[in-house]
Structure 1
Amino acid sequence: MKKIIHIDMDAYFASIEIRENPSLKGKCVIVGGLPDSRGVVATCSYEARKYGIHSGMSSYQAWKLCPQAVFVHGHFKLYKEVSEQIRAIFHQYTDLVEPMSLDEAYLDVTENKINEPDAVKIARLIKQDIWNTTQLTCSAGVSYNKFLAKIASELQKPDGLSVITPENTREILFSLPIEKFYGIGKVTAARMKKMGIKNGEDLYNQDLSFLISNFGKAGVYYYQVVRGIDDREVITEFEPKTVSCENTFEKDLDDINDILAELEKLIERLINRLAFQGIMGKNIFIKIKYDNFEVITRSCPLPEPTADRAILYEYAEKLLLSNWDHSRKIRLLGVGVGKLDLERPEKEEQLEIPI
């Protein structure tokens, strides 16, 4: 049986900003664009989250929910430096590390460099090492596969440590709200609730054929994970062919202003992913799924390899406006880059996170 740890830093960007400026401690800190801009929330402190603020929300909407919030611009170079410190700590225990973003990673400690059989003890040591090195807290999940470790890390945030064993898997998953299952997004969760699937127990009681007929290949995934089955390995190296992100809307969109606002949010997510992986794109593509589930993709070359927000948005907007059938509603919108340039110029490292 494997021993997997999932580490998730607590409100990572906001926590670093508070560390750098202690006067922000205890305040509603929002890392993102200013309220009078078209920016979005990159992340926020837990104090701000109590007001319903979350990443991807427009800065103006966040300000309306919490007028007393302190808005700060992000500093990507610093976030990346701290992330490298944290990753170095991981490698003191194992080389089987799969980073998912600057603030999140899976570790396989089945065999480890300190010959410690207790994965929970290793998780405690890692949490303490991170605090000693960065003065930042993280939450850890320990289990026998990646899915369960991810679920465990969310159970006691912030600064928590939870363990899911074969003995308590069913108890934890059965009581878990369906929207808390990793891999089930808001739209799918809302659809499941209409079917009467409100928690893990409800999902468990659906047979495989029902899940496949209603959710396609994803139904197999849902059937397995609610039973604690996940055979994915911790992947230490991979070379992506494309980097992309997409969003399925709760309500189909046909207003151009709403669609462009969603496109801008997707570009924000895209450039953060590019920055994390240290790569640039040579072409850009969009994906549109209409309300009848018809999907189209369109692409065009970029003037040069880039991860620049303004350039990516300009070309994505042109693709969208020239290819969208204005008489039809959009169910899903995606944007990405391909023909990746993995050798990011040194000067790009000096950019702050674009917000």
Structure 2
Amino acid sequence: MQRKIIHIDLDCFFAAVEMRDNPALRDQPIAVGGSTSSRGVIAACNYPARAFGVRSAMPTAQALKLCPHLQLLPGRMHAYKTASRQVMDILRRFSSTIEPLSLDEAYLDVSNSAQFQGSATRIAEAIRHSIQTETGLTASAGVAPNKFLAKIASDERKPDGIFVICPQQVSAFVARLAVQKIPGIGPKTAARLHDMGVHHCPDLFKIPLARLIRQFGAFSQTLLERCQGLDQRPVSAERVRKSVGVEHTYAQDKCSLQDCEAELPALLETLQQRLERHRATPLVHKLAVKLKFHDFQQTTVEQQLQTPDLAALRSLLVTAWQRGKGRPVRLIGLQAGLAEHDKKQLQLEL
């Protein structure tokens, strides 16, 4: 049976909640994020702000240079979680197979649904209508035979739109799909593909398989599948947590290795608390240290370890610092990778 997958993505979610609760902000460029004094970043922004080039994950200082009259809001996580719970409750009326990805997006499998005579397109429209009328928020939807295509489709008509890829349209759609739009392909991987002459999905099949494997290893199989429009992953109601992490951006750069080392105990304590909260400590199989330098370049060093150990983390930190060649550090992060063989199931916290 042909699967029917819907991807629902709330439009500029944090900013949308702020505009809903304060309509005076609706036509003003706004962003939710940290202040420049705390060296914050933009978590979300509305479309008037995007018109000035403001984007999520952008340093707040840069956003204010692009848009000096940007209204910066500190964020209200309680309000966002409440809105997210409302939306997830709506989704459950249309499918029992839902996979939340974050507070503002989720997959639904409606392959066996009898609603609207089984029409996934009509179900998606009904979901969008319910979200708007019941929460005052808008959502974009993608409808396709698999998760990968549904996620891409939801971006095609943003904001407040719907895009449908029927099974018979898959081949034509991926034939014109730019490889950088494939989920999992970041800027570095896209650049490597472009250097090989791969700009659109059909270009990948001009590259010898042996060369692909040399360049991308096991990810080559995923690349080949996605470039054919294939994705066999099921929509899973439970998510498998793969890692637990903690990171901190400092008000002042850390200009020496010793300054960075002094921050490790506090970061490790927070990491251990989060592992205990998720009952995940026995599952740790890998530790990593991330440094983000003053120029926003970053590096991550990891090692197979089963215990969050301060001495081991110091060793990883030294390697990461050496990679930076003495550049000042603005952010330090620790991450514990969790063993997949145990498949510990953790519900997404809303």
Name the TM-score class by shorter chain: 0.7 to 0.9
Q: Is the 8 A contact 1:147 1:230 kept in 2?
A: yes
Residue number in structure 1 paired with 2:185: 184
Structure 2: gaps spanning 5 or more residues: 248-254, 292-297, 326-331, 339-343
Q: Is the 8 A contact 1:299 1:319 kept in 2?
A: no
Q: Aligned partners of 2:49 and 2:305: how far apart in 1? A: 38
Residue number in structure 2 paired with 1:26: 27
Residue number in structure 1 paired with 2:329: none
Q: Deviations over 1:303-339 (max 9, x none)?
A: xxxxxxxxxxxx9xx8588443543359xx9743578
For residue 83 of structure 1, report the CA deviation from its aligned partner.
0.7
1:193 maps to 2:200: no
Seen in structure 2, the aligned counterparts of structure 1 residues 108 and 31 have a Cα distance that, compared at 3 Å, is same
Residue number in structure 1 paired with 2:335: 336
Residue number in structure 2 paired with 1:231: 232
Seen in structure 2, the aligned counterparts of structure 1 residues 146 and 329 have a Cα distance that, compared at 3 Å, is same
For residue 285 of structure 1, report the CA deviation from its aligned partner.
4.2
SS of 2:37's equivalent in the other structure is: coil
- Relative to structure 2, which stretch is displaced further, 235-244 or 12-21? 235-244
Seen in structure 2, the aligned counterparts of structure 1 residues 138 and 279 have a Cα distance that, compared at 3 Å, is farther
The partner residue of 2:288 within 283, 286, 289 is: 286
Residue number in structure 2 paired with 1:309: none
Q: Aligned partners of 1:45 and 1:320: how far apart in 2? A: 42
SS of 1:188's equivalent in the other structure is: helix
For residue 26 of structure 1, report the CA deviation from its aligned partner.
1.8
Seen in structure 2, the aligned counterparts of structure 1 residues 200 and 52 have a Cα distance that, compared at 3 Å, is farther
Residue number in structure 2 paired with 1:305: none
For residue 84 of structure 1, report the CA deviation from its aligned partner.
0.8
SS of 2:168's equivalent in the other structure is: coil
Rg: which structure is higher?
A: 2
Residue number in structure 1 paired with 2:250: none
Q: Is the 8 A contact 1:9 1:137 kept in 2?
A: yes
Which structure 2 residues correspond to residues 124-273 of structure 1 after superposition, within 5 A? 124-240=125-241, 242-244=243-245
Seen in structure 2, the aligned counterparts of structure 1 residues 295 and 226 have a Cα distance that, compared at 3 Å, is same
Which structure 2 residues correspond to residues 288-303 of structure 1 after superposition, within 5 A? 295-296=302-303
Structure 1: gaps spanning 5 or more residues: 247-254, 303-314, 350-355
SS of 1:167's equivalent in the other structure is: helix
Q: Is the 8 A contact 1:29 1:48 kept in 2?
A: yes
For residue 39 of structure 1, report the CA deviation from its aligned partner.
0.9
Which structure 2 residues correspond to residues 45-124 of structure 1 after superposition, within 5 A? 45-112=46-113, 114=115, 116-124=117-125
| Root mean square deviation of aligned Cα | 3.9
The percentage of aligned residue pairs carrying the same residue is 37
SS of 1:327's equivalent in the other structure is: helix
Q: Aligned partners of 1:296 and 1:192: how far apart in 2? A: 28
Paired amino acid for 1:131: Q
Seen in structure 2, the aligned counterparts of structure 1 residues 142 and 24 have a Cα distance that, compared at 3 Å, is same
1:41 maps to 2:52: no
Q: Deviations over 1:28-83 (max 9, x none)?
A: 21110123321111111122223332222211111112111110011111111111
